[in-house]
Structure 1
Amino acid sequence: MVSEPLPETCCDERPTVWLWEGHAAYCGPSLRLDTHSASVHCFALGLDAPFTVRSAGAVDRRARSALIPARTSHQVLAGDGRMMFFYVDPSATASESLFGQMIDRGTPIAFQHRDETALISAWNAAPSPDPEIVRLRLLGAVEVDSIDDRIRAAMRMLRSRPGDQLSAVEIAAAVNLSPSRFLHLFSVHAGTSFRRYRLWVRMCHAAGAFSNGADLTSAASEAGFASPSHFSDAFRTMFGLTATALLAGQARIVVSGDEAVVRPRRTRSAPR
């Protein structure tokens, strides 16, 4: 399927991507996503109406909120209403605390957050869109300390050096673990693999570089992607659409409180 640029007048709010503290959030039209698999846990919230989640081996589910585990292949089918996607950095909280907030946990994808009505009401009542409304309700104001300190340190190292080609062997040595033990602990405590988390960090960095004026090709290179096609393939696998489709419309990116209105670059061809 060839993804189209975002419509500019699907709802009252402009499509927006927020990046902060390792988290990312999106609010806007449903994006007509293909099947994809995110690198970190994703909380989906239908701000205006329910949506359908489709995944292999499971019956389609209609819901107003869903928590989709990292590396779970799925498709979100929604109409013209607004969607909120909140991507959770695993260093902020243990996966158990997130899934424990969902009422229906009978399948790998959990449904119906216990406070979904309050979440929607709080978002719609806010003077301006603010993903902190979602973060605070999902994660609380204080981080929990159940993640192994060595794994948390490894995540900080990856976030501080996103463009470097840091290997699991190098980071394992830095936190005084054998590579095999490190990879096992990372998967247990992060809820995703080392490789997929490193990819997530690079993707967030590329988005930040793009918001600061880099074209997509330069942003991908700065973030450590081997080539434009590597970035393009990773983006579509992770989010279910092309980077161009997400960023070519009147979307905006907000990084650590600084807003950037995003428009197509013409200085270099963007990877698709």
Structure 2
Amino acid sequence: MNATQGIGWRGKAWISPGLGVFLGQAGSQDWHCHMAHQITIGLTTNLTVSTPDMSVTARAVCIRAGVAHRVEAVEVMSIYLDALSAEARALHAGADLAAVEVQDVAALQALLETPDLTAQDVQQLVCHVLNLSVTPAIDPRLQTVLVALRASMHGRQYLARLVHLSPTRFSHWFVEQTGLPLRSYRKWSRLVAALQHIAAGRSLTEAAHAAGFADAAHFSRTFRNLFGLDPTSALGHVSLSS
């Protein structure tokens, strides 16, 4: 049995299009996989992260995007790096699970407790905590696709034309660049957009429609697949800001 079974999620979360951070009590969750790299840090003791094939126990564990997992912990800080972000490129996530070194976690924890966070403040401190310094140059074509994706949920054919590839070749190229299928990445981007709408005060139904989901039920199914629990349970005692 998962050690968090029956425990509720409590704390606060901050989210932006390329980066998210959760701080608080980790609760119950089913097997799930994010479409972002996740680094979870135990604040009071080591934590255990399991996939269907292996587990790692350490103070901080990196979970590669697209890997099904569960986390057994109590008080944690979880950092989510969009697979196309500069921070993700600097991370060089390779193995499905890996123990990682972190530093100055208390500074990021203190920042998250302050009002009026800025994306730049969080990004700078996340890079410091994760020891991210040199960011590899991004393929200009991928930068073009990223801008288009963040502007609107364009289809594969449109994106392929932007970078002068056939739709089939584009699908393979996108996986080569990000490690994720375009459909999975777009699903994650849509979910992040919905969470930002919720953070701005919209209802779950309003946020779902604004982010491009068919309805609240569609959003809830996607949320459960990506986070391992329903949004009401996840967000009921979590203060969300962006």
TM-score range, shorter chain: 0.7 to 0.9
Any conservation in 1 of the 2:8–2:28 contact (CA below 8 Å)? no
Any conservation in 2 of the 1:42–1:86 contact (CA below 8 Å)? yes
> Structure 1 residues 126, 5: closer, same or farther in 2, change over 3 A?
closer
CA distance in 2, matches of 1:157, 1:39: 18
Deviation (angstroms), 1:5: 5.2
Amino acid at match of 1:245: S
Choose from 62, 66, 69 the match for 1:67: 62
Amino acid at match of 2:205: T
- 1:149-186: per-residue Cα shift (whole Å, max 9, x none)? 1122112211122xx4x211121112322112211221
Equivalent residue number for residue 239 of structure 2: 252
Equivalent residue number for residue 85 of structure 1: 78
Deviation (angstroms), 1:191: 2.5
Deviation (angstroms), 1:28: 0.9
Structure 2 counterparts to residues 86-235 of structure 1, below 5 A = 86-93=79-86, 97-99=90-92, 107-111=95-99, 113-114=100-101, 116=102, 118-123=103-108, 128=113, 131-132=122-123, 133-138=125-130, 140=132, 143-145=135-137, 147-161=138-152, 164=153, 166-235=154-223
Aligned residues: CA RMSD? 2.7
Equivalent residue number for residue 12 of structure 1: none
> Structure 1 residues 148, 127: closer, same or farther in 2, change over 3 A?
closer
Structure 2 spans left out of the alignment, 5+ residues? none
CA distance in 2, matches of 1:127, 1:213: 19
- What is the DSSP-based 3-state SS (H/G/I as helix, E as strand, rest coil) of the residue aligned with 1:41? strand
Any conservation in 1 of the 2:46–2:58 contact (CA below 8 Å)? yes
Are residue 25 (structure 1) and residue 18 (structure 2) matched?
no
Any conservation in 2 of the 1:40–1:191 contact (CA below 8 Å)? no
Deviation (angstroms), 1:21: 4.6
Amino acid at match of 1:89: D
Kindly, what percent of the aligned residue pairs are identical?
Answer: 29
Amino acid at match of 1:98: L
Choose from 41, 48, 62 the match for 1:45: 41
Structure 1 spans left out of the alignment, 5+ residues? 8-14, 256-272
Any conservation in 1 of the 2:9–2:24 contact (CA below 8 Å)? no
Any conservation in 2 of the 1:68–1:110 contact (CA below 8 Å)? yes
- What is the DSSP-based 3-state SS (H/G/I as helix, E as strand, rest coil) of the residue aligned with 1:204? helix
Deviation (angstroms), 1:125: 6.3
Between stretches 42-51 and 135-144, larger displacement belongs to 135-144
- 1:78-129: per-residue Cα shift (whole Å, max 9, x none)? 13xx2111111222238564247xxxx7x52111x23x2x233444566946
Q: TM-score, normalised by structure 2?
A: 0.84
> Structure 1 residues 94, 127: closer, same or farther in 2, change over 3 A?
closer
CA distance in 2, matches of 1:54, 1:5: 19
Any conservation in 2 of the 1:93–1:139 contact (CA below 8 Å)? no
Equivalent residue number for residue 10 of structure 1: none
How many corresponding residue pairs? 232
CA distance in 1, matches of 2:204, 2:229: 15
Deviation (angstroms), 1:137: 3.9
CA distance in 2, matches of 1:220, 1:252: 18
Any conservation in 1 of the 2:20–2:80 contact (CA below 8 Å)? yes
Amino acid at match of 1:217: T
Equivalent residue number for residue 9 of structure 2: 6
